[in-house]
Structure formats: C-alpha cells, structure tokens
Amino acid sequence: MTIDKESRLNLETDEPEVAALLVEHGGLLDRDDRLGDETGDAAVYWATMRPHWAPGETYIARIEWFAYPYEPPSIKFATGVRGSLSVTSAWPVITGYRAASFDICKPMCREGYVTHLEWKEGSTAWPTQGNPFLWVVFTMQIDFNDNYQGRAA
C-alpha cells in the first residue's frame, strides 16, 4: 500500500522518537522501504521489541499505517522482518493480544477499532495529536514490560 505524501512526511517526523524508544528498550525500528529493494512499503514499519525482564525473547511487530496520524495502524506479529504473519508462536502472551485471531483487541490498532466501534468515541478514541506512533509503541512496550506472560504456542 502506498500512503499519501502528508502521512509519509508526518511519519518521517515522528519516527526518530519511536526509534529512540525502541533502542532504549533493546529494540529496533526498520521501515520496509529502507530494507534494500524496490518492493518495500513506506507505510510499513517493523518494530523489534522485547520484555525488559526477558531480554532473550524477541518479537517483531509489523505496524502498517494508512493515514497518519488520522487513523490507527494495523499491528501484527511476524516470524521476522518480512516474515510470516500467520504463525501463532510469533505472538506474545499479553492480555488483549490474540495470537489465535492474529490481532490485538485494544484501542491502539485498526483491528481493535473494527471489533469495538464504541472505542471510536470518548477516552478510547484514536489520538491524532502529538506523536501517535510513539504512543502506540510506548503502549506496546508497557504491555511487554508489565503484562508479558511468555510466547504463544
């Protein structure tokens, strides 16, 4: 998918803070179109994440944006950067992260808002101000640090 120019510029502006947060927690951020071939997509990021108390456990989150910062991203876990998105063991066991459904049922991603239309208003509405990309990754890192229970089977 190709994103519009405004979304791409907004992502490029917010990306350094996200990358810094991930590095601080032993992770990494890659943008798909910077991985060395012409098939890459500027709307897709690969976030390498790990729980602070289990640094040997590494997870790769595929974060795909559609209209940034106006819409939430789709988030899936992969077996590696550009790896399979249909392997349950690529998913962490965290409340709301549903490996069997390959989605996250929380008000921080496209899949959660599709499942719960009521989240589109009030305190669970998608935040378009500030750096929503950082907010998403920070929320995921908190989940890894505080709620991680292992790797899905």
- Could you report the per-residue pLDDT of 79-88, keeping only the tens digit for each? 999 999 999 9
Query: Does residue 1 surpass a pLDDT of 70?
Result: no
Count of domains for the chain: 1
**Summary mean pLDDT of the chain:** 96
Instruction: Give the position of tokens 């350094």.
Output: 16
Q: What is the mean pLDDT of residues 113-138?
A: 96
pLDDT of the residue at 35: 87
| DSSP helix/strand/coil, 17 | helix
Domain with residue 85: its CATH number is: 3.10.110.10
Residue 125 falls within a domain, yes or no? yes
Domain that holds residue 61: 5-147
Question: Beta strand 74-78 with 59-64: parallel, antiparallel or unpaired?
Answer: antiparallel
72 located within any domain? yes
Can you give the pTM of this predicted structure? 0.96
Tens of pLDDT, residue by residue over 4-46, are 999 999 999 999 999 999 999 999 999 999 887 778 899 999 9
Asked if residue 147 has pLDDT above 90, the reply is: yes
Residue with tokens 């239309």: 117
User: Is 152 within the bounds of a domain?
Assistant: no
How far from 53 is each of 26, 104, 121, 127, 141, CA to CA, in Å? 11, 22, 35, 29, 12
Instruction: Give backbone dihedrals phi and psi of 4, rounded to 5 degrees, phi first.
Output: -70, 165
Would you state the pLDDT for residue 75?
A: 98
Would residue 106 count as lying in a domain? yes
The mean pLDDT of 125-134, rounded to a whole number, is: 96
CA distance 90 to 151: 7
Is residue 153 domain-resident?
no
In a domain, 22, yes or no: yes
On whether residue 104 sits in a domain, the answer given is: yes
Residue 97 has pLDDT above 70, yes or no: yes
